[in-house]
Structure 1
Amino acid sequence: MRASDLSELAAFEAVARHRSFRKAGEERGVTASAISHAVSNLEERIGIRLLNRTTRSVSLTDAGGRLHAQLLPAFDGMGAALDSLNQFRDTPFGKVRLNVPNSIAPFVVGPMLGPLTAANPDLEIEVVATDRLVDIAEEGFDAGIRLGESLREGMVAVRINPRLRLIVVGSPDYFARRAIPETPHDLKDHVGIQNIFPNGNRFAWEFRKDGEAIDYWPTGPLALDDHELIVHAAQGGVGLGYVWEQRAAAALADGSLIQCLEAWCQPEDWLYLYYPSRRNMSASLRAVIEAMRV
Structure 2
Amino acid sequence: MAAVGVAAPGRRRAAPSGAARYRRWWVPYLFLLPGLLAVLVFSLWPFVNTVILSLTNARVLQGGSFVGLNNYGRALHDPAFWLAFRNSMLYAVVCVPVLVVLPLLLALLVKDRIPGIGFFRSAYYTPVIASSVVVGLMWQWLLASDGIVNTVLRRLQLVGSPVPFLTDSTLLLLSCMVVTVWKGLGYYMVFYLAALGNVPAQLYEAAAIDGAGAVRRFRHITVPSVRPMMLLVGTLSTISALRVFTEVYILGGRGGGPGGEAKTLPFLIRDLGVGYRGLTGYASAIGIILFLVTLVFALAGRRLGREEA
Q: Same fold (TM over 0.5)?
A: no
Richer in strand (by share) = 1
Richer in helix (by share) = 2
Structure whose alpha-carbon radius of gyration is higher? 2
TM class, shorter-length: under 0.3
TM-score by length of 1: 0.24
